[in-house]
Chain A
Amino acid sequence: MKVIALIAAIMTGALLIYGIEEMPEWGDPNSPASSHVSPLYIQEAIEKTATPNMVTAVLADYRGYDTLGETTVIFTAGIACVLMLRKKRKGGGD
């Protein structure tokens, strides 16, 4: 079983390393991740949201509903932990 897992991990790693060839250089200012929509956020964040911190502007203004859903995730996880770990009441229903 461990041998199969090791072989599967090495093969997946080889596949990913094959994909590295297509990745941009580390720190390239013109890489695809930094060239399409990211400059708009950097330039317009202060104008549209009045927030100097662009991470905060994107998190709480542009993607506010995403953050709302994220808090739902946290809430659900907390509720699940409480429900699983609470002490069972003595003499209560089953």
Chain B
Amino acid sequence: MLDYVIGKYNFWIYVVLMMIGLYAMMGKKNLVKKLIGMNIFQSAIILFYISTGVKKGGATVPILMGHAQGHGHQAIDVAGYLNPLPHVLMLTAIVVSIATTGVALAILILIYRRYNTLEEDEILKIRKDTGV
């Protein structure tokens, strides 16, 4: 059992992080805390993808070293460079996550201006009382 946990402990960490984020999105009443939960969830997914690109055994960042520019005929050692594809995809994911966070914060500002609170139950109560 211990080997089972330690052998792939990185995935356990991502699952725990992801569930912290999921619980924050579902269980918390404060809208800002929900947003923070969404960010934790996204960070867990980003870490997971980055970890799939890792190669142990002397692999370095995916930038060519020592190869003259324009001469691609030397054999390039694939095991010497990390997998670049997860990095690219997560670069895109980080940008999208920043965009969604920005829009969500703007919406939260509007909600606060209108209801003077960011607690979900209080907002629902105000909407019920005023019939809006």
Contact = CB atoms under 8 A, between A and B. Distances in A.
Q: Decide if A and B are genuine partners.
A: yes
B85 interface: yes
B11 A20 contact: yes
Interface of B: 7-12, 15-16, 18-19, 22-23, 26-27, 51-57, 59, 62-65, 67, 69-70, 72, 76, 78-79, 81, 83-88, 91-92, 95-96, 99-100, 102-103, 106-107, 109-110
Contacts of A41: 84-85
A16 B12 CA distance: 9
Q: Is the interface of A mostly helix, strand, loop or mixed?
A: helix
B15 A33 contact: no
Query: Which of A33, A42, A44 has the most CB atoms of chain B within a 10 A radius of its CB?
Result: A42
Interface of A: 1-2, 4-6, 8-10, 12-13, 16-17, 20, 23, 25-29, 31, 33-34, 37-39, 41-47, 50, 52-55, 57-59, 63, 66-67, 70, 73-74, 76-78, 80-81, 84-85
B100 A13 contact: no
Given A2-B27, A12-B22, A84-B110, A54 B56 contact: no
B85 A37 contact: yes
B8 A25 contact: yes
